[in-house]
Structure 1
C-alpha cells in the first residue's frame, strides 16, 4: 500500500471574503442559527411536557420521560449517518438540506397534537428530517476552505457560534411564552413552544433556499445525481423510515436502541476502514485515529446531555429559583446559560487557538478533546459540592451551582465539539466525508442515548432526590476526569496516527 493518500479533494471556489472568511459561511451560519432555534426551542420542554401531559405531573414519569428524550436525541444524531450517505451518493448536499428542513418543520408542528402516539410520531418525523439536514450543512462548511487552509478550525468555531446563537434565544423566547401563558395548563403552554419552534424551522428553510446561490455549485448534485426522481425516491424512503423510528422509541426502548446504535457504529467504522484501505497506509491510520476520538466523544455527550433530562428535573425541583421581588427564574432559561457562555467564549477560544498556532504551541486535536472532558468533569464537581454541602432547609440548592456547571461544561464543549467537526473533514476519506460526519454524530447519538438511560437511573421509580442526584453526579465527575487524563496520556500515539493533521 502507498504511504500517501491518492484521492485529492476538489478545490474550494474563490469566494468573496467577509470578516476574514468565505462569504457563504455567514449564510450557512444563519441557516444553522434558525434550525438550532427550532431544535433548542423544544429541547428544554420535552421531558417536562411528557410528565405534565401523559403522567398528569406525577414524578414517577421522570424516568420514562428521560429515556424517551435520550432515545429521541440519540436517533436525531444517529440518522446523520444515513443523511450523510444520501448526500454523498444520491442527491447531493444542497437538496438534502432542503428536504430535511421541510420534513423537520412538519414534525415540529405534529408534536403539538395532544396524543402520545401522535407526539412520538412527530418526534420520529423530526428525527428523519434532521438526519438529512444536520451532517450535511456541517460538511458544507468544510468545503468552503481549501485543503490545508489554517482558517478551517476557526471557521468551524464561528459556525458553532451560529449554532449557539439560535440555542441562546430559543429557550429565552419559548421559556417566556410558557411562563406568561399562565391562564392555561402548562401542557398547553408547551404546545405554543413547539409551534414557535416550527416557525423557526421554516425561517431556516427559507434562508437556505434564498442564499444557496452564494455557494457557487458547492453541494449541488453531481452529474449522476441530477435526476430529480432521486429526490422523490429519498422522500418515499423517509416516509418508510418515520414509522420505523416511531417503533424504536415507542416499542423497542432505550436498551434495545443502544445495541442497535452500537452495531450501526461498528458498521460505519468498517465502511470507513474499507475506504481507507483503498487510499493507503496514511489514510488507514487517520481513520483509526478518528474512531478513537469518536469513542471519547461518546463519554462527553453521555454526561453533557444531562442538560435536557436530569438537569431539568434538578432545576424544577431541587434548585431554589426565587429571585428578587419574588420573581421565579423559569426552568427553560437555564438552557440559555450554555449558549450565552458559548457566544461570549467562542470568539476568545478562536483567537486563543490562532495565537497559539502563531507561536506553534496550539494543543493537538486529542489534547483539545482531553480539555473538553475535564471541563465537563468540573461542572459535575460543582454540583457535587452543592448537593453535599449547600442544601438549604427547604431541601434545595442555590441557583449558582447549576448555572456555573453549565458554564464549565460550555468551556469543555468549545474545546471538543467544533474541533470534532473540523477533525472529520480533515481525517475522513475524501469520498466519504458525509458518511464520516454521520459517524461523528452517531458517536454523539450513542452518548445521548446513554444520557437518557443514566438520567432515568438517577430519577428512579419515584423521581429525583438530593441523594440520587449526588450519587449520579459523583460518578459522572470521576468517569469524565479519568477519561480526560487518559486521553492526555495517549495523545502522542493519536498524533502519530494523524500524520501531521493538526
Structure 2
C-alpha cells in the first residue's frame, strides 16, 4: 500500500468511508426514528393511521428485508459490479426511497420501502467490505479492529444528529419534510464517496472465480428464486404459524439462503471450512442480539411515547421554544372533552365543511382547525392519562415535552462517548498482550446486552404498575448498557467477517452477517408485537433478558474452538 495513502495511522480512504456512512446512516436512522410514530399517527395528522399490530408487523418486515438484501448486493459486488458501483447505486436508490416516503400516499409508502430495502442491499455490505480491504496489508492488519470502531462511530454521529433534524422538521413542517431531509442526507453521502474514490479505488477488486466456485447465475437461481417461492408458500399457509402471514413468508423465505451458506461450508475444505463454520456459529448467536437491540425503534419508542416523563425543564423549554424544538401538549377545554363530546365536536366541524359549496379559505381553515383539534386531543389525552396529578398543568396551561424521536439519539450519543474509551481499553490491554480475541469481545457484548433488559425491568417497577410515568434516566441507562454491548459486538462482527472470510467471498460472507441481522430484526418486530399482549411489561423485558443471555452462554461455550480457528488463520 502506498505510504501517502495513510493518515494518523489509518488509510486516508477510511475518512471518506466514515463521511459516506455517517450521512447514509443520518438518512437511515432519521427514517427509522420516526417510522413507528409515523405509521400509528392518524391519517388526518399526516401519518398512515395503522393499528399497533400492523405497525409492528411492517416494522419487523422492513427491518428484516433491509438486511436480507445485502446477500444479493454482496454477491453482485463480489462477482459483477465491484464495490464502488454497488455503493453508488445503492445510495441513489435509498435516496429515492426516502423521497417517495415524503408523499402521503399508501402506494408511495410501500414503493419507498422497496427502494430503501433494495438500495441498502447494494450499499451496506460493500462499504463495510471496503473498510476491511483498506487494512489488508501487513502494515495495517493489526489496526483493523480500531478501523472498524472508528467507522462505527461515523455511523453513530449520523444517527445522533438525525433525530434532532427529524423532530424539528416534524414539529414545524410535517412528516413529509422529515423524510425529505433523510433523502438529502443520503445524497450528501454519495457525493462524499465520489469525492474520495481515488483513495479507495485500489481496494475495489473483483475476485476471480476459483475452481469449484459456483457461478453467479447458479447462486442467484438456487437462492433468490427459491426464496421467493418459499416466501409465497409461507404467506399462503392457512392459519399462520408465526403470528402473521408476513412473519411466515419472511422466515420461510430465509430458509433457501440459510441452506446456501450451509452448502458453502459443506463444499469447502481445510482452513476455509473451519473459518466458514466459525462465522456461521457466530452469526447464529448474534441473531438474538439484534432481536433485542432493534426494539429501540418500536417497543422502546412506544415506552418513550407512553410511559416516559418527557417534560422539559423550564430552562431547556425556553431555549427549545426559541428554535421550535419543543412538543406542546395543552390542558384546555378541547382536550378535556370525553369521547362523546369530542365526537360531537368533530361532527359539527364536518357539517360546517359540507355546508360550504366550494373550496374556500373558510373551508381550508376549518379543516386545519379540525386536524389541530384531533392532534391536540389525541396527544394530550394520551400523555396526561398516566401522568401524576401533581404534574398535570392548570386549565389553559401546557407542558413542553421532548419529542419522542429524540430518545433515538441516546444510543448513538453513548456510542460517540464510549467508543474512544473502549478503543483505549483495548489498546491498553493489547500493549500488555491481554486484549480479548474478537469472538470473546462478541460474547461479552451479548452478556452486557442481556443486562440492559434488566434495567428496563427496573423502569417498569418505577411506574407503579404503569399508573405513572418513569423517569427518562431509565431509558438513558438502558441505552448506555446496551450500547456498551453493541460496541463489543457489532463492529467486532464486521471485523471478524473481514478477518476470517476466504478472500474471494468476503462480501458474500458480509452478506451472511447481515442475513443474521435481518433475521434478528424480524424477530425484533415479532417480539414487539407481543408488547400489547403482555400486560405485565416487566415480563416482556424478562423475556428479552432470557433470550439474549441464552445466546451469550452458547457463545462462551464455543470460545475455545473459535479462538483456535482464529489462531489457525493467523488472525486475532
User: Smaller-chain TM-score range?
Assistant: 0.7 to 0.9
Please, which of 347, 370, 387 is the counterpart of residue 460 of structure 2?
387
Please, which of 192, 207, 226 is the counterpart of residue 207 of structure 1?
192
Please, which of 141, 162, 167 is the counterpart of residue 131 of structure 2?
141
Q: Is the 8 A contact 2:160 2:409 kept in 1?
A: yes
Unaligned runs of 5+ in 1: 1-11, 182-188, 225-239
State the alpha-carbon separation in 1 of the partners of residues 310 and 6 from structure 2.
46
| Aligned match of 2:25 | 36
Please, which of 84, 87, 106 is the counterpart of residue 77 of structure 2?
87
| Aligned match of 1:268 | 261
Shift of 1:347: 1.3
SS of the residue corresponding to residue 151 of structure 1 reads helix
Shift of 1:15: 4.7
CA displacement, residues 247-301 of structure 1 (integer Å, 9 cap, x when unaligned)? 9999951222022124312313423553x32xxx112111111111001110100
Between 1:353-362 and 1:392-401, the stretch displaced more is: 392-401
Say whether 1:355 aligns with 2:393: no
Equivalent residues in 2 for 1:442-457, closer than 5 Å: 442-457=515-530
Between 1:196-205 and 1:316-325, the stretch displaced more is: 316-325
SS of the residue corresponding to residue 118 of structure 1 reads helix
CA displacement, residues 411-435 of structure 1 (integer Å, 9 cap, x when unaligned)? 0000000001010011111100010
Question: Judging changes above 3 Å, is the alpha-carbon distance between structure 1 residues 208 and 272 closer, same or farther for their aligned structure 2 residues?
Answer: farther
Q: Is the 8 A contact 2:18 2:151 kept in 1?
A: yes
CA radius of gyration, larger in: 2
Equivalent residues in 2 for 1:299-314, closer than 5 Å: 299-314=288-303
State the alpha-carbon separation in 2 of the partners of residues 146 and 214 from structure 1.
14
**TM score, norm. by length of structure 1:** 0.86
Question: Judging changes above 3 Å, is the alpha-carbon distance between structure 1 residues 59 and 120 closer, same or farther for their aligned structure 2 residues?
Answer: closer
Shift of 1:53: 4.4
| Aligned match of 2:109 | 119
| Aligned match of 1:228 | none
Say whether 1:52 aligns with 2:41: yes
| Aligned match of 1:178 | 170
Shift of 1:470: 1.9
| Aligned match of 2:492 | 419
Question: Judging changes above 3 Å, is the alpha-carbon distance between structure 1 residues 216 and 49 closer, same or farther for their aligned structure 2 residues?
Answer: closer
Unaligned runs of 5+ in 2: 210-224, 237-244, 315-398
State the alpha-carbon separation in 1 of the partners of residues 168 and 234 from structure 2.
29
CA displacement, residues 331-371 of structure 1 (integer Å, 9 cap, x when unaligned)? 01111111111011111111211221121111122221121
State the alpha-carbon separation in 2 of the partners of residues 222 and 283 from structure 1.
16
Q: Is the 8 A contact 1:99 1:129 kept in 2?
A: yes
CA displacement, residues 137-171 of structure 1 (integer Å, 9 cap, x when unaligned)? 00000111125511001001000011111111011
State the alpha-carbon separation in 1 of the partners of residues 32 and 94 from structure 2.
14
Say whether 1:61 aligns with 2:51: yes
Runs of 4+ in 1 over 4 A off after TM superposition: 12-15, 53-60, 220-224, 246-252
Shift of 1:173: 1.4
SS of the residue corresponding to residue 217 of structure 1 reads helix
Q: Is the 8 A contact 1:81 1:441 kept in 2?
A: yes
Question: Judging changes above 3 Å, is the alpha-carbon distance between structure 1 residues 458 and 58 closer, same or farther for their aligned structure 2 residues?
Answer: farther
Which one has more relative contact order, counting CA pairs under 8 Å at least 6 apart? 1
Shift of 1:393: 7.9
| Aligned match of 2:152 | 160
State the alpha-carbon separation in 2 of the partners of residues 404 and 193 from structure 1.
28
CA displacement, residues 365-402 of structure 1 (integer Å, 9 cap, x when unaligned)? 22211211122111110110121244388532221111
Shift of 1:473: 0.8
Between 1:43-52 and 1:145-154, the stretch displaced more is: 145-154
Question: Judging changes above 3 Å, is the alpha-carbon distance between structure 1 residues 15 and 392 closer, same or farther for their aligned structure 2 residues?
Answer: farther
Say whether 1:317 aligns with 2:306: yes
State the alpha-carbon separation in 2 of the partners of residues 109 and 20 from structure 1.
39
Say whether 1:218 aligns with 2:203: yes
SS of the residue corresponding to residue 457 of structure 1 reads coil
Count the aligned residue pairs.
458
State the alpha-carbon separation in 1 of the partners of residues 436 and 26 from structure 2.
32
Question: Judging changes above 3 Å, is the alpha-carbon distance between structure 1 residues 425 and 15 closer, same or farther for their aligned structure 2 residues?
Answer: farther
